[in-house]
Amino acid sequence: MRSETVHMSGHLIDSGQLQLVLDTIIEHGADYEIADFDVGKRHDDESRVVLSVTAATAEKLADILASIGDFGAAPLVDTDAKVARADLDGCFPTGFYSTTNLPTQVRVAGRWVDVARPEMDCGIVLREVDGTVTARTRPVGDVRVGDRLVVGYQGVRVRPDRSIPSPGQPRGVGETFGFMTSDVSSEKPQGLLVQGVADGMRACRDANKEVLWVAGPALVHTGSIAPMVALIRAGYVNVVFAGNALPTHDIESAMYGTSLGVSQALGVPTEHGHSHHIRAVNAVRRAGSIAAAVEDGVVTSGIMHACVKHGVDVVLAASPRDDGPLPDVILDMMVAQARMRERLWDAEDRPRVGFCLVVATMLHGIATGNMLPAEVPLVCVDINLATVTKLADRGSAQATGVVTDVGLFVKELAEELAPTELAEELQRSREVAQMHAATYREGRPD
């Protein structure tokens, strides 16, 4: 039998951390004994527990310690982190420490060092410059021979307690989401959910952080173009991550008044409508880029038009099913990942983004959740429960899900945050829709 004494501190009971640790030990077929438990008496007091963990073999014990380390349990006796050099490009050394997106520290030469850019499923690279050791996450594909990476669980500690705001978290955001304590909100009043998201976005802007939208084409299909443009104009959309479909159907709507060939004014398929999206793609490709198409007057309205006019950064990543794609879409997936990561952090490795809203997209939402540090609040809105739950299932500890119609949710959000802009955009969209509807009623070609 092999044993190790570990300790953890924080709001262990309210957050459920202690229960997660104990359940993990039992699930691994091991045993534990609580040696000391100091429970905080007041709401703001932290608790502290010391556990003795016993497993049949050293290998089993190592697996358990690595697993419960993600919940904040660390060896009672501090030891320096073990380090190994990478021996192959694009490969971690054997036994590497696999990161979470939670605040993490490593112990080097008796000193705890913060790990910059916390991101899940990465390794920790140590560097020394002028006698100062720094630690930073690194994706496996970016590892190069000779890199010094942390291996094993020793000398690593994680702070998973979300009840205490992290240093980079906008003031008030943690409190804003107090009512959204469940991972998925499906039966709570939508007005309260919208209000909570709106308050979080306001707090983000007040903290001079950016609001990131990760969006799918359902924004267009559900009639959310006008609310999105209103939010862009009001400054509540600073960065957009998406694929080829969102801009394609948004531009299709701007040029032809359709989405997937269905008239957005009449709600019926239009003649030759099946070709509208590829005609829109072709028009933008001829212009050279989305920005060029806007400046040339090819695209005169819509989400992409507003993003260009208001300086919103847009990162578009390709998928195998893309038509065209648009010239702005990044075809190399590794380049797309790098561009997304680059957009999340400033030059001093602090999060530029203070709030993330994922709407109607599973793959881009999961990808972004994997990259974001846990201190950034993330809300996923989708009509499909499976989409909403996958973010939390994939390890995004900060994710909150809202199961509802995206179109209704975004419109209510715009009514809360940008009522004047929304009224103007709705009137403008009605005028454009009437123009397109008249075109189709007269039977004119597209």
Secondary structure (H, E, C), the chain: CEEEEEEEEECCCCCCHHHHHHHHHHHCCCEEEEEEEECCCCCCCCEEEEEEEEECCHHHHHHHHHHHHCCCCEECCCCCCEEEECCCCCCCCCCECCCCCCCEEEEECCEEEEEECCCCCCEEEEEEECCEEEEEEECHHHCCCCCEEEECCCCEEECCCCCCCCCCCCCCHHHHHHHCCCCEECCCCHHHHHHHHHHHHHHHHHCCCEEEEEECCHHHHCCCHHHHHHHHHCCCCCEEEECCHHHHHHHHHHHHCEECCEECCCCCECCCHHHHHHHHHHHHHHHCCHHHHHHCCCCCCCHHHHHHHCCCEEEEECCCCCCCCCCCCECCHHHHHHHHHHHHECCCCCECEEEEEEECCCHHHHHHHHHCCCCCCEEEEECCHHHHHHHHHCCCCCEEEEECCHHHHHHHHHHHHCHHHHHHHHHHHHHHHHHHHHHHHCCCCC
Amino acid 192: pLDDT: 86
pLDDT for position 298: 97
| AA letter at 54 | T
Closest CA to 244 of 337, 316, 301: 316
Q: What is the average pLDDT across 21-39? A: 94
Q: Are 407 and 383 in contact (CB under 8 A)?
A: no
- In percent, the amount of the chain with pLDDT more than 70 equals 91
Q: How confident is the model at residue 262 (pLDDT cuts 50, 70, 90)?
A: confident
Query: What is the per-residue pLDDT across 315-337, written as a single tens digit (0 to 9) for each?
Result: 999 999 899 999 999 999 999 99
| Confidence (pLDDT) at 178 | 40
Q: Kindly report the average pLDDT of the chain as a whole number.
A: 89
Q: Are strands 210-215 and 239-242 parallel, antiparallel or unpaired?
A: parallel
Q: Report residue 134: phi and psi, to 5°.
A: -120, 155
What would the pLDDT profile of 128-184 be if each residue is shown by its tens digit?
Answer: 988 899 999 999 999 999 999 999 989 999 987 544 333 233 434 444 344 344 456
Residue with tokens 């694929």: 243
User: Is the confidence at residue 99, as pLDDT, over 50?
Assistant: yes
The answer, yes or no, to whether residue 28 has pLDDT greater than 70, is: yes
pLDDT of residue 17: 87
In this prediction, residue 110 has a pLDDT band, given cuts at 50, 70 and 90, of very high
Per-residue pLDDT, 392 = 67
User: pLDDT value at position 187?
Assistant: 60
